[in-house]
Amino acid sequence: MTEIEFVRTVTGRPWANRACTFDELDCWGLVVLYYRHVLGVELHHLPDYESGADFVTCYESAASCWRTIPAAVPGCIAVFYRGDVPAHTGVMLTPVKCLHSRGEHGFVRIDSPVALLRIYSRVEYMSYAKI
């Protein structure tokens, strides 16, 4: 699936906690589907995520599979923080466009990281260590 096809398929889909399907997805589910269908990479899977563990617990379990990079590049993830706590993630389509699925009553959309920093305190960019 091309990136353009993926973006067209998921844009507007509803957010649902711990969902990872083309019908509904949360922020991490979006990342998993992007890597699976666009990049052909099966991400490190965490059973905690689907069992409902909080985002921080899941993030900390998966963090060893990712490396921090100094700036956004296409295909990397953006991790948004509230204070020192990771709270949200999305896929960078370009250095200034982030595809993400926003919380309750939200949906998949594209925003700039700068716009998201109105809600979050900081952003960190990461690439998957196995690519």
At 80-124, the pLDDT tens digits run: 999 999 999 999 999 999 999 998 789 999 999 999 999 999 999
pTM: 0.88
Confidence at 129, pLDDT banded by 50, 70, 90: confident
Q: Is the pLDDT of residue 18 over 90?
A: no
CA distances from 125 to 78, 80, 98 (A): 5, 9, 11
What total number of domains does the chain contain?
1
104 phi and psi angles, rounded to 5 deg: -45, 135
Express each pLDDT in 38-58 by its tens digit: 999 988 655 556 555 555 555
Domain range for residue 89? 3-128
| Cβ atoms of residues 97 and 112 within 8 Å | yes
DSSP at 11: T
The CATH number of whichever domain residue 23 belongs to comes to 3.90.1720.10
